[in-house]
Amino acid sequence: MALPPADPSDAPTRRTPLVIGLGNDDRGDDAAGLAVVRALGSRTLGAARVLEGPREATGLLDLWTGVERVIVVDAVRSGRPPGTVVRVEVGPHGFPSSVRPSSTHGLSLAEAVGLGISLGAMPRSLVVYGVEAGDFAAGRGLSGPVARGVVEAARRVADELAGAALGAGEG
């Protein structure tokens, strides 16, 4: 479901946050990012564009180029208990050194960020919400802990968007 890159002259689109869920419905907990954006549904109340992302992380560059604020949600593997939700702000040099994202995708999110930095194709603000996955077995749905993590991640993303919308209205 790829959109063309945002037209720089389209200021409302550039300023509207973009939420992208990544994952694979056929790989168990890997579907966490997709489940989060599906759970968000109408909860964003027009505060953001919400999309299911491409299977390959390089497609992210097409989606976020020219957009000021992007939130990406994906399953992660960090050794934390399954269902744990983490929030990471990606800086101008990529992920913080304390974070080592991994991926079941062909090109990882971290590699897509590195490519975006190299090409000057990064949003001004990039936040990644990760839901710690446990089971990537083919043909399975989300595990119980990850399903609970999806609910928490969707709430946190919705709260963040609501807070940003309130902040944008001030001043």
Q: Which residue has the tokens 């990537």?
A: 136
Full set of structural domains in the chain with CATH:
11-169 (3.40.50.1450)
* Token reading at 12: 């409302």
Residues in contact with 164: Cβ distance below 8 Å, sequence separation at least 6, in sequence order: 17, 47, 69
* Pairwise CA distance, residues 135 & 30, whole Å: 8
* Distance from C-alpha of 11 to C-alpha of 1, rounded to nearest angstrom: 22
* Confidence (pTM): 0.83
Distance CA 115, CA 58 (A): 8
Among positive and negative, which fits the CA dihedral 147, 1, 137, 114? negative
Q: Per residue of the chain (171 residues), give pLDDT as tens.
A: 444 444 444 444 678 899 999 998 999 999 999 999 999 976 666 778 999 988 777 789 999 989 999 999 999 888 899 999 999 999 887 777 656 555 555 567 888 888 899 998 999 999 999 999 998 888 888 999 999 999 999 999 999 998 865 555 444
